[in-house]
């Protein structure tokens, strides 16, 4: 079956523009996660969805960042008024929600965002 897909794979934008990044999780996976990886740095958690609600959005770095999920499927991460420090690879992952910490996360290929 298909894995987690993300689009676009690469996005170059100018400072101040808004961008939307898309994630299509594995079918049937109710949990969805967004992470960020800046160049040369480790992964950072951004937000977690269970179904269409986001019980943990503690990692969103500012109010310029928002995310939504519809139909317990596709999710969109929106960054408004992009800044150069937003340049990073944005990774999406999904998992079956089992109510325990032991559910494996499956990662997408990521979207590389470059803000000029």
Partner 1 sequence: KNEVEQSPQNLTAQEGEFITINCSYSVGISALHWLQQHPGGGIVSLFMLSSGKKKHGRLIATINIQEKHSSLHITASHPRDSAVYICAVRHGGAQKLVFGQGTRLTINP
- Binding residue (CB under 8 A) for partner 1 from 7, 22, 76, 107: 107
- Binding residue (CB under 8 A) for partner 1 from 8, 15, 38, 58: 58
For partner 1, what does the binding mask look like between residues 74 and 103, x meaning CB under 8 A? ---------------x-x-x---x---xx-
Provide, rounded to whole angstroms, the least separation between the CB of residue 82 and partner 1.
21
Number of Cβ within 10 Å of residue 7's Cβ equals 14
Number of Cβ within 10 Å of residue 1's Cβ equals 5
Within 13 A of 51's CA, how many CA atoms are on the CB side?
Answer: 3
Number of Cβ within 10 Å of residue 36's Cβ equals 22
Provide, rounded to whole angstroms, the least separation between the CB of residue 30 and partner 1.
11
Q: Which of 108, 103, 111, 110 shows the shortest CA–CA distance to 31?
A: 103
For partner 1, what does the binding mask look like between residues 5 and 44, x meaning CB under 8 A? --------------------------x-x-x-----xxxx
């Amino acid at each position: 079956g298909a894995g987690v897909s993300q689009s676009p794979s690469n996005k170059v934008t100018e400072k101040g523009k808004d961008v939307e990044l898309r994630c299509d999780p594995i079918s049937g996976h109710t949990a969805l996660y967004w992470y960020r990886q800046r160049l040369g740095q480790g992964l950072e958690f951004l937000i977690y969805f269970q179904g269409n609600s986001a019980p943990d959005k503690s990692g969103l770095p500012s109010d310029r960042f928002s995310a939504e999920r519809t139909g317990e499927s596709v999710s969109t991460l929106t960054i408004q008024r992009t800044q150069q420090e937003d340049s990073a690879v944005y990774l999406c992952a999904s998992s079956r929600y089992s109510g325990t910490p032991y559910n494996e996360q499956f990662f997408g290929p990521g979207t590389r965002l470059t803000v000029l």
